[in-house]
Amino acid sequence: MKTLKNILCTASLLTVSLFSGAQTGDYPIQPVPFTDVKVTDHFWAPRIQINHKVTIPIALKQCYLTGRIDNFIIAGGWKKGKFQSEYPFDDSDIYKIIEGASYSLQTIPDPKWMLIWML
């Protein structure tokens, strides 16, 4: 038992010492904010644009059509009604669309999207 405690203690100290060195600034690679990264290749850049211009708006429209947005409005007490969509976990779709749109808008600012989100 004493040996196990010594091993755990030593492992903890090694882990702390390894990770604390990276925080002192001597690590040669520094993170870059993703908003500073511009993808301009012929493979990913068009897909990122399609995601921004087509996929995210279509996914949001589907949430309106299937009642997923209404579920939030009903839950918030702004509208009367019953659960509108098929599955009880449908709210996760909206969360993922909002996440994707947030990332997309940080790299591709688009004033037209304000109208979509205000509907």
pLDDT in tens, 9-48: 555 555 555 555 445 567 888 889 988 989 999 999 999 9
pLDDT in tens, 104-115: 988 888 887 766
The token duo for 10 is 């030593």
- Report how far residue 103's alpha carbon sits from residue 97's, in angstroms, rounded to the nearest whole number: 10
Indicate the pTM of the whole model. Answer: 0.67
Per-domain boundaries in the chain: 42-119
